[in-house]
Amino acid sequence: MVGSVTLALNVLITTTAARSLPPRDAPSAHNATSPASSTLVWSDCSAIYGAGFTCANYTVPTDWAVPNGDQIMIGMNRFQSNTTGFAKKESLYLNPGGPGGIATSDLTVAAASFSHEVTSKYDLIAVDPRGLGLSTPIQCDTDLWNERLSYFPKTEAEFDRMVQHNIALGKSCLELTGNLLFHVDTLSIARDFEAVRIANGDDKFNFVGFSYGSQIAYQYAQLFPGSFGKLVGDGITNHAESETGSLVTGVQTYEDSFVRFATWAGTSNESALFGQDVLSLWDQLLVKLTETPLSVGSGPGHLDNITNEEFLFNFPEALISKEAGTGPGWAAVSEALALAFAGNGSGLASFAPAVVDGEIAANSGPFSYLAVGCLDWTYHSTTLADILYKQKLMTTWAPHTQGATQNYGYQTQCIGWPAPVINPPEQIELHTDIPILLVQSTHDPECSYTWAVELQAQLPSSVLLLREGDGHTSYLLGGETAAAVNAYLINGTLPAHNTVLQS
């Protein structure tokens, strides 16, 4: 789905900008009978984000069904190229995915990926979805979050420990976050975008959503079919998938990408594993990691050793792009694995579990990842037996990667979560002629090509543009696919159905 915690734009972050937080108890933000400001007030924040950046806040109801109830803050930043002396242009809203990607941080890096033609036509606006970043954050107990345990329980004791952990963590999030924990689903997020669009005086909602961000795009379109202009999803999820279906397609797309990587690594002279049986070495490494965690060396923000399961959950990040750029690139990954196969884990530090101990805004990313997923996806398994059926299913379809995916993560981590599912999977019914552009690579490790075909069928006015190749999302790679997206954003030109591009 949705890509693991790190997504297209996220992986480009090289700096952590210092930023201020909306206070959760700002009196002006509470019990307002109407939004505090009816139009956005943009103020200079170039000192934080760089030249051309302005920032704004907007107040919305925590629960859109209770417009006069308690309120939260939505924070955002905007990049304007100075082609018209910083006059307001049309707006192009962006989301990097996740859930949990901090859009405002990502935009400082991603802005440079947009062509002059695009930034001459549009202001780029990154809105941090409710619950994270500059918006009123989700908060949880950090010690509980950092507890290590298995999400692949094999015994009743392990299963109970997992559920007890989930209950304790969820309780802490509810205590620290309050009512917002019940309302961070993607439909509420889509309503916030609509409120921000209106407050910013935008005639139409133009949006590029990467990975999970594609769900924001189609759930927005479902709610506000008359409001959108250009809508792009890059790296597609399908929120209509069944519990089991989402597992199977999720593990298959991860396995497919991994096996393609392993084949390349064993046969390419750019690989540190050239000439080796990479699949066999990989399987042996996994057995070793199951017995003893491998030391990865100490470093800021991560644990200093890694288990089999932690490695498998985080390894999709290694496959984000074949060339170095949005991800480390396959050549660098082959070097890290060559060391690991020889018993030296120093190349795997970036796959070790992140330790959450930073400031509230940074922590809110991973917390949102879980909080949004638990409201958006169903999880009916409540016994060890149910979970074991799923584990066996996944290792059957994906013997090398074994099912450590975002979908499976939600189906185990959400058992015992205090907030009920309020945006369950369902088919989109969209009656509009306004074209929508869906973009998908044929071998995405995190967003299945199957989901893209399934979503296209739900959106009759959409065209699915394929990039033949590897990696998670396409636009930021800057090739022919990016040019086709730009033609849509600039001129409204859609590619023909069944267009397949090579870069």
Ligand X SMILES: *[C@@H]1O[C@H](CO)[C@@H](O)[C@H](O)[C@H]1NC(C)=O
Binding site for ligand X (CB under 6 A): 20, 22-23, 26, 30-31, 43, 55-57, 69-70, 75, 82, 85-86, 117, 269, 292-293, 295, 303-305, 339, 344, 346, 486-487, 490-491
How many other CB atoms sit within 10 Å of the CB of residue 95? Answer: 30
Instruction: Pick between residue 381 and residue 486 the one whose CB is nearest to ligand X.
Output: 486
Task: Considering the complex, state which of residue 163 and residue 339 has its C-beta at the smaller distance from ligand X.
Answer: 339
CA-CA distance, 259 to 324, in Å (whole number)? 19
Eight-class DSSP state of 256: H
Nearest one of 63, 103, 7 to 185, comparing CA atoms: 63
- Cβ at position 469, least distance to ligand X in Å: 17
Report, in Å, the least distance between residue 38 CB and ligand X. 15
Min dist CB 370 to ligand X, Å, is: 22
Bridge partners of 438?
233, 464
Least distance (Å) from ligand X to the CB of residue 122? 12
Nearer to ligand X, 55 or 173 (CB): 55
Q: Which is nearer to ligand X, 10 or 307 (CB)?
A: 307
Q: Which residue's CB atom is positioned nearest to ligand X?
A: 85
Residues 171 and 173: their CA atoms lie apart, in Å, by: 5
Q: Which is nearer to ligand X, 223 or 483 (CB)?
A: 483
> Angle CA(242)–CA(252)–CA(284) in degrees, nearest 5?
135
Q: Alpha helices of 224-329 — where are they, by DSSP H?
A: 243-267, 278-291, 308-314
Q: Within 10 Å of residue 493's Cβ, how many Cβ atoms? A: 12
Which residue's CB is nearer to ligand X, number 156 or number 357? 357
- The answer to whether 44 and 83 are in contact (CB under 8 A) is no
Query: What is the arrangement of strands in the sheet containing 122-127, beginning at the earlier edge strand?
Result: 43-44, 53-61, 71-79, 122-127, 90-95, 205-210, 228-234, 436-443, 462-470, 500-501
Q: Give, in order, the Cα–Cα distances in Å from 207 to each of 35, 39, 216, 445, 468.
A: 23, 20, 9, 23, 24
Please, what is the minimum distance in Å from the beta carbon of residue 304 to ligand X?
A: 5
Instruction: Identify which of 494, 344, 315 has the alpha carbon closest to the alpha carbon of residue 406.
Output: 315
Q: Which is nearer to ligand X, 181 or 387 (CB)?
A: 181
Report, in Å, the least distance between residue 45 CB and ligand X: 6
* Cα–Cα dist 248/45, whole Å: 44
CB nearer ligand X, residue 77 or residue 252: 77
| CB of residue 266 to ligand X, shortest distance in Å | 13
The least CB distance from residue 473 to ligand X, in Å, is 19
DSSP track, 8-68: TTGGG-----------TT-GGGSS-SS-S-SS---EE-HHHH-TTEEEEEEEEESSTTSTT
Closest approach, Cβ 56 to ligand X, in A, equals: 5
Cβ proximity to ligand X, 242 vs 298, nearer residue: 298
